[in-house]
Amino acid sequence: MAVGAIAVAVSGCGASGPSPVALQHPVTPTATPASDLLYVDHYGTFYVYHLPLSQNSKPLRTLSEWPGLAIPPVIAADQYGNVAVASSEELRVFKAPITSFEASHAQLRLALTPAITEIGTSGADLIDMEYDPNENLWLFNNLGADISELRNPISKSSVAALTIGFGAPGSKTAGFVTLVQGRFDINAALYVYASNTATPPRSRLFKISFPYAKPPGSLGINLAQADFIDSSEWPPTANTAPSLLLGQYDGALHSPKPGSPPSPPVDVTGQFVQPFNPQVGLFPNEHINQIVGALAADTYRYSFYTLDAGDGHLSAFELPMKSSAKPTLTLPCLAGLGSCDKTEHLFLAP
């Protein structure tokens, strides 16, 4: 959503131990800087892995994202490997390479104010942060379902350059006042995953195209952990270069046959070819039976990485997705009991 939300071009050096994730096609140099690192976040603990992964991969670094903070901060990483973390009261930005999240290592510390985002008696209620492709940082605040943009470069005097509200009566987001995640595609379109207040609640993925002049529109699907792959992001040697949408899908796998009841909903990791084909409908063309808490696509290795929502293990799968595929490798979660099944993120970094 990273990407953080967009798929970042990746290649890398070999690693010792068993063979890394296998390539289906040779990788050739491109104009896009290659990435060598995978950032893994588990409920306030930050791990840095070298790419490509192997079954013997161990973190290069393990860091607390906000030493001394009672509740884990929200976190975002940009395409250059810089990291932003935020509490309910302060935003901190750290430049790559990330070696410490101590306050003294922060390039910038910015107090959150009403000029930046909605502030209550306990500060902001940030649920997510995301960098867009232009290095602007977006804050997703569940106080008032408020989304605000801090323009690049961020400084001590930064204030919100743009604010987008969710849940207004009469709008397509009416009732959807619980923000969950934000994501961006390569064209800087903003996708917001939000839930409403119905019983039982419903969740939908909404899109606001750049330059964000029109109100959000629903994609009509319940898709969390969304990641977008544009056809331009595949290596030049790729046999095919589809535009894809990946994520955790909750819904039917196909339309019912005439005269038949709708098929029961499933909760799976799905792949959707873009743009949607109206003759096929809003259904995944491929899926795997896994519930993930984070997902990141690595087009240059023809892989995507996931963190399992239940036990936090890190897996790599072949990209494009193939239904019922098994992971090419799986690494255990190192965060410990009580953290591996909580909020988690994946980011690719140089």
DSSP helix/strand/coil, 299: helix
C-alpha 42, offset from chain centre: 14
How is residue 319 written in tokens? 């990209």
pLDDT at 14 over 60: no
Domains and CATH numbers, the chain: 37-349 (2.120.10.30)
Residue 194: its H or E element: strand 190-195
- The DSSP line for 271-283 is EEEES--TTT-S-
Neighbouring C-beta atoms of residue 311, cutoff 10 Å: 11
Phi, psi values for residue 5, rounded to 5°: -100, -15
Neighbouring C-beta atoms of residue 329, cutoff 10 Å: 21
pLDDT mean over 92-105: 98
Which 8-state DSSP code applies to residue 120?
A: B
pLDDT at 2 over 80: no
Phi, psi values for residue 300, rounded to 5°: -75, -10
pLDDT on residue 34: 63
50-69, pLDDT tens digit by residue? 999 999 999 999 999 999 99
Q: How confident is the model at residue 33 (pLDDT cuts 50, 70, 90)?
A: low
pLDDT mean over 95-115: 98
pLDDT at 31 over 90: no
How is residue 255 written in tokens? 């339309």
pLDDT > 70 fraction of the chain, expressed in percent and rounded: 90
pLDDT > 90 fraction of the chain, expressed in percent and rounded: 83
pLDDT at 253 over 50: yes
**Which distant-in-sequence residues (6+ apart) come within 8 Å of 199 by Cβ?**
none
Start-to-end CA span in the chain (Å): 18
Q: How far apart (Å, rounded) are the C-alpha atoms in residues 273 and 290?
A: 19
Closest CA to 115 of 52, 157, 76, 175: 157
Q: How far apart (Å, rounded) are the C-alpha atoms in residues 334 and 57?
A: 12
pLDDT on residue 156: 97
